[in-house]
A = this chain, B = another copy of it.
C-alpha cells in the first residue's frame, strides 16, 4: 500500500464526462489498496472566463479580489469530482486551500507556499476517504485567499506530496510525458523515461511547458518523484527525479526552443564600469524580465550591449532603453523581433567537453547564423533567425542522437 498523490489538469476535467473518467481512474488506484490525494485544476476554459470577467472591469484588478474570483474554478472541480466519487459509492471529500490549510505568503496572484498542514488530510485518509484538493489556491496569515499563479496546481500537487511524504506524485496531462523535443516539429522526438530535476528546470523555463517551473523546484527541494503521464491512456510517462549516474552519461537529453523573445541591442556604448546596471535597472524597475544578456568585447573604447525580452514587453522595453541610451551617450538602439532561442540541455555537458563546438558546427554547416550565445552548467542557448527554428531543432536532435 502506497500513498499516491495525483494531479489532473484542466483538460482532464474539462467536462462532466471527463470528470467521470478521472473518477474511474482514481477508483482503480484506490481499489488497488492505495491512499489517495487528488489535486485538480479548474475545468478548461473556466479560469480564462473568470479572468475575462475581472478584466472587463479594469486592466489591473486588485490582487486580493482577483484571487477570490479565479480560485473558484478549482473549487467547482473539487466539488464535482467528489460528487462523482460519492455517487459511485466511494468516500470522498473536497478541500479548499484554507481547509487544508495550505499557507502562503501574501503575494496575491503569485503567492509562494510557506507550509502545509497535514493533520486534516491524514485523518481523512485514515478513514479510507479519497481526498480531493483544489490546486492553485492557498490562504495567507490574514485569512485571505491567495493563488499560486498560472499552472500553480502542479506546485500544489508536489507540495502536498512533500508534506504528506507521498510515495509518488503523478501529474496527469494531455501528453504522454516529457519529450526530447517538440513532437510537432520533429517527428523523431522521443518520450524520455526519466529526467533530472535540473534538466527539467532548464527545459521548463525554455518553454517545454509540461510542468510549472516552481513545481520542479519544489520537487527538487523535497526530493519528490514526479511522474508526468497522460490521463488518456495507461502508458508509463516520464519520471522527474534526482540525478543518477546513468543520467550523467547522456550528453544532451532535450532540445527546447522559444519563439517568444525579441532582441534589443544598444550599440556604441562608451565602455565604462556600470553600463550593464544602468541599462538593466530601469527595465527591472518596470517589471520587465530580461532573459539572455551579452556584452561584446570592446575593440576600442566602445562596446555593444545586447539582451532579449519577451515580444510582449518589447515596445515598453524599447522606450525605456532609448531613454537610457541618450543618458549614457550610446550611438544607437536597434531591435529585432524576428528571432528565436534554441537550447540544448543535458547533465552530461558538465563533464564532457566539445558539446558547444558540436552544436555550433552543426548549425554553421547548415547555414544557420548564430546571433547570441548563452551557456549554463547544463544548457547552451543560441539566438538565431526565427525562420530557422524548426530546421535547427531537427538538426540538433539528430546531431546529438536523441532519436535512438
Contacts and interface: CB of A to CB of B under 8 A. Distances in A.
Chain A interface, >50% SS class: helix
A50 interface: yes
A69 interface: yes
A13 to B, nearest CB: 11
A86 B68 contact: no
* Copies of the protein in its oligomer: 2
A62 B83 contact: yes
A41 interface: no
Interface centre among A66, A76, A84, A99 (most CB of B within 10 A): A76
A41 to B, nearest CB: 15
Given A61-B87, A93-B64, A16 B56 contact: yes
A80 B49 CA distance: 13
A75 interface: yes
Interface residues of A, number: 36
A58 interface: yes
Contact of A65 (B53, B66, B69, B82): B82
A57 B87 contact: yes
A38 to B, nearest CB: 13
A326 B80 CA distance: 43
B16 A57 contact: yes
Contacts of A65: 78-80, 82-83, 86, 92, 94
B72 A58 contact: no
Given A54-B83, A84-B57, A72 B66 contact: no
A83 B69 contact: yes
A80 B53 contact: yes
A94 B92 CA distance: 29
Interface in A1-23: 16, 19-20
A179 B92 CA distance: 47
Interface string A210-250: 00000000000000000000000000000000000000000
A75 B69 CA distance: 7
A65 B68 CA distance: 19
Contact of A76 (B56, B61, B69): B69
A68 B78 contact: yes
Nearest to A20: B57
Contacts of A50: 76
Interface string A91-122: 01110101100000000000000000000000
A141 interface: no
Nearest to A69: B79
A353 to B, nearest CB: 56
Contacts of A16: 53, 56-57
A143 interface: yes
Contacts of A69: 75-76, 79-80, 83
Contacts of A72: 72, 75-76
10 contacts: A19-B57, A53-B80, A54-B80, A57-B83, A65-B86, A66-B83, A68-B79, A69-B75, A69-B76, A69-B80
Given A64-B93, A66-B79, 5 more contacts: A58-B84, A61-B83, A62-B82, A72-B75, A75-B75
Interface of A: 16, 19-20, 50, 53-54, 56-58, 61-62, 64-69, 72, 75-76, 78-80, 82-84, 86-87, 92-94, 96, 98-99, 143, 145
7 cross-chain pairs, A with B, having the tightest CB-CB distances, nearest first? A68-B79, A69-B79, A72-B72, A58-B87, A65-B82, A62-B86, A61-B83
